[in-house]
Amino acid sequence: MLTGSAAMVSMSAAYAQQTAKLPIVGFLVPGTQSSHGAWVMAFVKRLSKLGWVDGRNVKIEYRWAAGDVRQITEFAAEFVQHKVDIIVTSAYGVVAAKQATSSIPIVFAAYGDAVANGIVESLARPGGNVTGLSIQPQELSSKRLELLRDIIPNVRRLAALVNTDYSGVKQEVIGIRQASAKLNIQPNILEIRTADDIDVAMATLTNQTDALYVYSEPLTNANKAKIIEAATAAKIPTIFGFREFVDAGGLISYGANFIDLFARAAEFTDKILRGAKPADMPIQQPVKFDFIINLKTAKALGLNISETVLTRADEVIE
């Protein structure tokens, strides 16, 4: 009979062996716990309802890149080295994971045009090791500018803050330029790659623009407080792709519901854990879109938003 320290060593070894047998999901998060935490929890909650509980029959390893492209590339390589069973990610985590492995299944919770960017062969039959939920950025940018015009009819100059390190930026900028031309708006594309670039760009906007369009992705999401603070100080109305920016004091947002997208990514993960192949799993698109208005911010900016626009909003923050 084992007693004392010998028994403890035996139990620890047995637990380690049991844990080692659990399938490992590597969650490659491009942002921070503040910016992406609620979305990640939506994934975990849905995965649990599907029968996969972290620490019991699956192990979830998290890596938070805080908008740093170099960091997320290193995390992707780390997951491949550790031979995780699935990588779940979003935004430019998809590119990093795809570059790191062609064999480990990859599920993306939210990404731009996956076909145009060469991530998958087609929406119906992705091929390869990647599947998930794709967003069409050009269509969304057009809708956002239409909503901005409804709220600010006299908008003529638009500054657009875009991260050039993000793989989907090309389609987003095309969408901004096309929608601006249609609405007789002059766009000024402000290219950023780091948090320091955001400070420099925001410092140039006072009296130079009628509104600020923020390309919502991990870098801008992780730095939304400084963006909103600078825009508010300069009395510049803002429009975003994520509601979290509006919760933090931005003016309006329109885009896919990311809580829903990340929860649906858990369904892809569940199927792969049960033996499905990403190559045979069609890419899905968002089904829930949110139009959010921060009325408190509107009043601080001296904007009078019509009842017609307010009634179209999915939520008005007062």
Average pLDDT of 141-157?
Answer: 93
The answer on pLDDT for 15 being more than 80 is no
SS3 for 184? Answer: coil
The answer on pLDDT for 4 being more than 50 is no
Q: Beta strand pairing status for 186-192 and 211-214?
A: unpaired
> How is domain 4-134+258-287 classified at the CATH fold level?
Rossmann fold (3.40.50)
Q: Which residues contact 203 (CB under 8 A, 6 or more apart)?
A: 230
Q: Beta strand pairing status for 59-64 and 86-89?
A: unpaired
* Per-residue pLDDT reduced to its tens digit, 82-115: 999 999 999 989 999 999 999 999 999 999 888 8
Pull the structure tokens for residue 304: 């009078």
Determine how many CB atoms are found less than 10 A away from the CB of residue 188. Answer: 17
Distances (CA, A) of 17 to 11, 24, 104, 146, 276: 10, 14, 22, 57, 26
* Per-residue pLDDT reduced to its tens digit, 225-278: 999 999 999 999 999 998 999 999 999 999 999 999 999 999 999 999 999 999
What is the spatial distance between Cα 260 and Cα 288, in angstroms, rounded to a whole number? Answer: 7
Residue spans per domain, the chain: 4-134+258-287, 137-256+290-317
SS3 for 262? Answer: helix
The answer on pLDDT for 5 being more than 50 is no
Hey, do 4-134+258-287 and 137-256+290-317 end up sharing a CATH topology, with the first three levels equal?
yes
What is the spatial distance between Cα 158 and Cα 217, in angstroms, rounded to a whole number? Answer: 19
* Per-residue pLDDT reduced to its tens digit, 283-317: 999 999 999 999 999 999 999 999 999 999 999 99
Which pTM value belongs to this model?
A: 0.84
Q: Looking at residue 27, what is its pLDDT?
A: 98
Give the CATH superfamily of 137-256+290-317: Response regulator (3.40.50.2300)
| Residue 213 and residue 148 in contact, taking contact as beta carbons nearer than 8 Å | yes
| Residue 10 and residue 3 in contact, taking contact as beta carbons nearer than 8 Å | no
| Phi/psi-derived region of residue 235, left when phi > 0, alpha when psi is between -120 and 50, beta in every other case | left
Token pair 């995965």 is found at: 47
The answer on pLDDT for 192 being more than 80 is yes
| Residue 202 and residue 46 in contact, taking contact as beta carbons nearer than 8 Å | no
SS3 for 249? Answer: coil
Distances (CA, A) of 241 to 175, 216, 291: 13, 5, 9
Name the β-bridge partners of 131: 107
Q: Looking at residue 20, what is its pLDDT?
A: 58
Average pLDDT of 141-158?
Answer: 94
| Phi/psi-derived region of residue 238, left when phi > 0, alpha when psi is between -120 and 50, beta in every other case | beta
| Residue 183 and residue 146 in contact, taking contact as beta carbons nearer than 8 Å | yes
